[in-house]
Structures are given as C-alpha cells and as structure tokens.
Amino acid sequence: MNARLIAMAAMALGMAGGCNRPDSSARHEAGAAGARPITIGVSMMNLSNEFIVMLNQAMEDKARELGVTLIVNDAQRSAEKQVQQIESFIVQKVDAIILNPCENEASSPAVDKALAAGIPIVNVNSETRSAPTAFVGSRDEQSAQIAMEYIAQRLKGQGKVVMMHGFMGQAAQLKRDQGAREVLARQPGLKLLADQTAEWDRAKAMTLMENWIQSYGDQIQAVFAQNDEMGMGAVITLEQAKRKDKVIVASVDAIADALQAVKDGRLDATVFQDARGQGGGAVETAVRIVKKQPYEKQLYLPFQLVTQENVAQYVK
Amino acid sequence: MPCPTDKLRTWLRQFGLLIALAALVVGLSIVKPTFLTFANGINVGRQISINGILAIGVTYVLLTGGVDLSLGSLVALTGVVAACLAHPGQYPTVVPVAMGILAGAVCGAGNGLMVTKGRVAPFIVTLGTMTVARGLALVISGGKPVSNLSAPFTAIGSGDLAGIPVPVILLLAVTLVSWVFLRHIRLGRYIYAVGGNENAARASGINVDGVKLFAYTLCGAMAGLAGVVLASRITTGQPNAGVGYELDAIAAVVIGGTSLSGGVGGVGGTLLGALLMGVINNGLDLLNVSSYYQQIIKGAIIVGAVWLDKRQES
C-alpha cells in the first residue's frame, strides 16, 4: 500500500512539476575574453519572495551579458546569516559584493566588514545605516506616495480610506506608512478610517477586509495596501461582497498577478518597482567599480504608477 | 477506556470553554453591535475554516501523544501542487483537489513512518518535514505564486451552498466525521488507547505503529485539504503561505482541552478552540485595536481561556 502511495505522490509532484521554471544556476561561467573573470558575491535578502527573485534574475541576466561570475547566497531574511555570507565572500576574495540588505541596522556590519577588507560593496533595493561604496534602488516612501496620490485624485480629495500595513516594524512597512501619511497630511479631505496589519499576506488581507466591511460597510471608499498580495486579497473580498465597483484599491509592487488584475480592471492601480533596472544596475555598478570606471554613487530608479491605461507596457 | 468521571471532566472542559466563548460574544455584541449579525457569523466561520481543518487533523496526532510541526509548510506545498494542476482547461477540478490531499497524505505518511519505524522523535521528524516541504513548494513553483486558476477550483474557497460558505461546510463535515470516528469506531478508540498508555495498548494487542501511522497520514491529508481551500480562497498557490499555521492549529487543539501528552480530548473541543481564536481575531479587527496591542491581547486571552478551563476541571 505504501509503495502505491509513494508512486501516486511521485505522479502528483511530477504533474505539478509542469510549472517549474528552470532554476538559474548560481554560478555563471565567464566569457573567455578576460584573463581572470570578475567574481561578485551576492547576498540576497530572501529568495522565497517574488520581487527578490525577479531582482536576482535581472542580476543573473546582466552578469551573463557582461561575462562576470556571480556567487548568489540566500540570507533567508536573517541579517545574522547575511553577515556570515559576507565574511565567507571576504575569505573567498571576491572582486566585489552586492548586498540586498535584510535590515537597516542589523545588516550594517556586513557593509563595514567588506569595506574594512578593501572589497567594494554595492547595496541594492534597501539601505543600511553604514554607507556602502554605492547604492542602487528606489525610495520606498515614494511608492506609497504615488499610490495614495492616485487614490486622492480618484476621490477628488474627499473620502474615507483604509490602509493595510505589511509586517509591523519592517523597513518597507515603516517607509510605505510614512509615504502614505505624508499624502494624507497634505490632503485634509482624506480621512484614514482604519489601518491594520495583514502581514503582507493575501489570506490575512481577505480576513481583514471582511472584518472592515462588517465594521464600516459603505463608508470605505478606498483601500491602500502596502503590497500587491494584500491588495489582491482586498480585491477578492470586495468582489465577493459585490462592492468592488464602489471601492478603489491601490497597492505596490506590480507583481504578475496584480498587473493582470489591473489589465482586467479588477485592481485599480499598482506601483511598479523596477526590479530589472535595480538588479542590472547593481551588477553594472559593481563591475564599473572593479574596473575603476566612473559610476553613480547613488542610483535611484523612480517608481511608476500602473493603471489600466498604461498596463500593457508592463505585462509580458 | 474512559470511566464516568473522565467523561464528566471532558464535558466540564468544553463547558469552561463555552463560558469563555459566551462571555466574549456577549461583550463584543455590547461594544460593537455589528458583531452579532448573521453576515459576521458567516465571516468568522469562513475565517476559521482553514485553521479549523488543520486543528481537527492535528488533534489525531496530539491524541496519540505526538506532534506535527510540518502543517504550515504542508499547506503551502499542497496548495502549490493543487494550483499547478488547476489552470483553466487543464484537468477536471477533482484532479487538483485529490492531488493536493494526496500530496499531504503522503508527506503525513512519511512523518508517520519516520516516527514509528525510524524511531525518531515526532518533534524532530516533523521539524525536518517542515523545511523539506517548504523547499519542495519553492522548487515546484519556482519561488513565484502560481496564479491563473480555473473558476470551478476557486469556487471551493469563495462559493457557498444555501448561504453557507463551502470552506465552513468542509470544516463542519470533517469535524462531524471525526467526532463519530473517534467515539464509535474501533480504530478511533485505539488512538486514545495509544496516547493514554502506549505499553498497555501494545500489551492488549493493538498495532501501535499502525495506529500512529494512520494518525499522521490523516493529519497530512487534512493539511492537504486546508492547502487546497487556501489556494482556492486566495486564488493562487503561494509557496510562502502558511508560515506559523501549525502553532495556531495546535493552540486551537489545546484550548479545546486536548492534552499535549495524548489520550485525552476530542474534536468537539478543537472546533470550539478554533472558534474562540477566530472570534478574538474578528472582534479585535472590528474594534480597530492597534496591531501591536492585538498580539498582546490574543496571547493573553488564549492563556486565560486555558486557565479558566483548568479551574473548571479541578
């Protein structure tokens, strides 16, 4: 009986394996051109996060294009693990390091250690308190400002809004909260009815939205969710409650699902963060530093509002 | 076999929990009139359905004196497996549902085999499975959510029958079947016997390993069902879903009066435990209590409910 079960399980996994995307290998063989290929150590915050995966793919593509070798490590959200990974890059004598920091404070020692060892370090996507050799990313506050301003414009400056927070205390949550509140302060007609965390999670966002509908009913005119997962949760719940036509939903990240929903007219707006620009820019900057070419010390890539009008250029 | 005082005790346990639940419901209804409405009752039911199904499943394992920490990861893995097979026009809906449940059952059987034949402590076995299953979910999905699921599949999470959401019906069905099974079917009674005193059970001719293997497999299958419901409800297979769900499920079981050392308790209490947790969560959201304080209040109420329970018992 057990053998049969295992065979069936293998079948289930095999069938499911259909959606597996080919895993990009961590090391790329460099082109034969240079004497010794440039090697860059990369520590990514969390390779189970869709956006970080996109960022990593952009880096791999750029590395292949430039003929440099990447050694990619996943810090799995642990700043402590991240510091260890940088230490091992230093021992391996890599030419440069790209750090996608887990945390502002706790990942700072990674930057200090690399600089002390004389290895240039480029921060990508998020910042650390210690200043790296270069930074490539976006201002997270801006994403929330763009989304909230879109809501303000749609409501003509008058209306009641609810906000879904990410995981409380994380850098992205704090900055997106700050950005959203800046707009609210400028727009006295916008009232924040309630705000609560759904921990970046779609299922939790659905629960929260159900409870808010129960509590506030028709009062809610717009939802700002600090990421698309939660925004999608709000959309699904509002659709099930047959209220989506009365409520505007805007969120941040422009993940594939959200772009499709914008295209289908379900989600009103999302904010595009340029993963390709950030990942590619980080590798390019690192290579320029190693080759002693001029580089931007701080490269900020702007966020872009995505609505039904311009979604076509973002959907692959 | 339970003697009459044991039965009385079990009743008192559930009674104590009912008092706590009733106090909460009355309190919330006074403070927030929108709480005590049919629509909100449906909301709470829908919100507890996934935790409830997981909790019913893990009740079997806890009754044998074991534990299962892999549930949250199994929810993610089985949800991803189901989602991969649930694209429009791919297979009839029964295929992703069955494969999701089957994947959970196989992982559960793996847990059970390692615990019984491998003689490894359940805590360690299921901790390992937790990591392996999470990794498998990420491999199968390529680290990205699996979206674009067919309408019949998503109807499991969003649809209703006669006004009752499908997930709630599934939870009630699973609870009812388990209640009958654990009380009136011989294998169900054996689960209590194994958890109560393993050596005595073995001496009286019960196939202890077989009973345990059954409990872990069933628990895995329930996690598979929960994973299917979650994927359907959120209309994607999320490789990151379900983190920490095992602890919520175990909390619901313990609040419901099932002993962590096995042999005592049942699924009726588990359902009440899940309901209590759901009501707390719903009530705090309705009252718009700050996220920071919510965590403190939730923890305190859970411990308080168990404490009240113990007082009833003595």
d(CA B175, CA B2): 21
Question: What pLDDT sits at residue A6?
Answer: 53
Question: What pLDDT sits at residue A127?
Answer: 86
Neighbours of B12 (CB within 10 A): 16
CB within 8 Å: A206 and B81 = no
Question: What pLDDT sits at residue B261?
Answer: 86
User: pLDDT for A194-250, tens place per residue?
Assistant: 999 999 899 999 999 999 999 998 999 999 999 999 999 999 999 999 999 999 999
Q: Which of B213, B217, B225, B218 is nearest to B101 (CA)?
A: B225
Which residues in chain A have Cβ-Cβ distances shorter than 8 Å to B103?
A: 9, 12-13, 16
Q: In what order do the strands lie in the sheet with A96-99?
A: A69-74, A39-44, A96-99, A121-125, A134-137, A298-300
CB within 8 Å: B285 and A20 = no
Give me the residue from A16, A48, A214 closest to B286, CB to CB: A214
CB within 8 Å: B142 and A23 = yes
CA A188 to chain centre: 30
Decide if A6 touches B, using CB distance below 8 A.
Answer: yes
Question: Is the pLDDT assigned to residue A26 strictly greater than 90?
Answer: no
Q: Where are the beta strands (DSSP E) in chain B?
A: 160-161, 164-165
Question: What pLDDT sits at residue A30?
Answer: 42
Written in H, E and C, the secondary structure of chain B is CCCHHHHHHHHHHHHHHHHHHHHHHHHHHHHCHHHCCHHHHHHHHHHHHHHHHHHHHHHHHHHCCCCCCCHHHHHHHHHHHHHHCCCCCCCCCHHHHHHHHHHHHHHHHHHHHHHHCCCCCHHHHHHHHHHHHHHHHHHHHCCCCECCCCHHHHHHHHCEECCEEHHHHHHHHHHHHHHHHHHHCHHHHHHHHHHHCHHHHHHCCCCHHHHHHHHHHHHHHHHHHHHHHHHHHCCCECCCCCCCHHHHHHHHHHHCCCCCCCCCCCHHHHHHHHHHHHHHHHHHHHCCCCHHHHHHHHHHHHHHHHHHHHHHHC
pLDDT lower than 50: segments of chain B: 1
Question: What pLDDT sits at residue B14?
Answer: 58
- Give me the interface pTM, i.e. the ipTM: 0.80
In what helix (H) or strand (E) does residue A165 lie, and over which residues does it extend? Answer: strand A159-165
Decide if B131 touches A, using CB distance below 8 A.
Answer: no
Q: What is the DSSP letter of A133?
A: S
User: pLDDT for A247-267, tens place per residue?
Assistant: 999 999 898 899 999 999 999
Question: A175: which 2 tokens?
Answer: 């900055």
Q: What is the DSSP letter of A197?
A: E
Question: What pLDDT sits at residue B299?
Answer: 87
Give me the residue from A20, A47, A202 closest to B140, CB to CB: A20
Residue with tokens 């169900």: B188
User: pLDDT for A178-191, tens place per residue?
Assistant: 999 999 999 999 99
User: pLDDT for A281-301, tens place per residue?
Assistant: 999 999 999 999 999 999 999
Question: Is the pLDDT assigned to residue A1 strictly greater than 50?
Answer: no
Would you tell me which residues 30-69 of chain B have a C-beta closer than 8 angstroms to some C-beta of chain A?
A: 32, 34-35, 37, 39-40, 43, 46-47, 50
Instruction: Kindly list the distances between the CA atom of residue B273 and the CA atoms of A313, B261, B305, in Å, as whole numbers in the listed order.
Output: 49, 18, 9
A-B C-beta contacts closer than 8 Å: 123
Which residues in chain B have Cβ-Cβ distances shorter than 8 Å to A23?
A: 139, 142
Question: What pLDDT sits at residue A32?
Answer: 42
Phi, psi of A273 (to 5 degrees): -105, 130
CB within 8 Å: A6 and B106 = yes
Question: What pLDDT sits at residue A169?
Answer: 81
Instruction: Kindly list the distances between the CA atom of residue A34 and the CA atoms of A38, A64, A69, A93, in Å, as whole numbers in the listed order.
Output: 9, 14, 12, 18
Decide if A14 touches B, using CB distance below 8 A.
Answer: no
Question: B34: which 2 tokens?
Answer: 């929108």
CB within 8 Å: B81 and A13 = yes
pTM score of the predicted model: 0.82
Confidence of residue A8 (pLDDT cuts 50, 70, 90): low
In what helix (H) or strand (E) does residue B133 lie, and over which residues does it extend? Answer: helix B122-141
d(CA A145, CA A303): 10
- Sign of the CA dihedral A110, A112, A115, A120? positive
Which residues in chain B have Cβ-Cβ distances shorter than 8 Å to A206?
A: 233-234
Question: What pLDDT sits at residue A76?
Answer: 87
Give me the residue from B32, B43, B84 closest to A18, CB to CB: B84
Give me the residue from B34, B230, B236 closest to A257, CB to CB: B236
Question: What pLDDT sits at residue B144?
Answer: 84
- State the smallest CA–CA distance between residue B282 and chain A in angstroms: 6
CB within 8 Å: B32 and A215 = yes
Question: What pLDDT sits at residue A20?
Answer: 46
Decide if A3 touches B, using CB distance below 8 A.
Answer: no
Question: What pLDDT sits at residue B311?
Answer: 63
Question: What pLDDT sits at residue A43?
Answer: 96
Q: In 3-state terms, what secondary structure has residue A19?
A: helix
A170 compared with B52, residue with greater pLDDT:
B52
| Contact present, B216 and B108 (Cβ < 8 Å) | yes
- State the smallest CA–CA distance between residue A50 and chain B in angstroms: 5
Quick one: angle between helices B267-286 and B166-184, nearest 10?
A: 150
Decide if B21 touches A, using CB distance below 8 A.
Answer: no
Decide if A240 touches B, using CB distance below 8 A.
Answer: yes
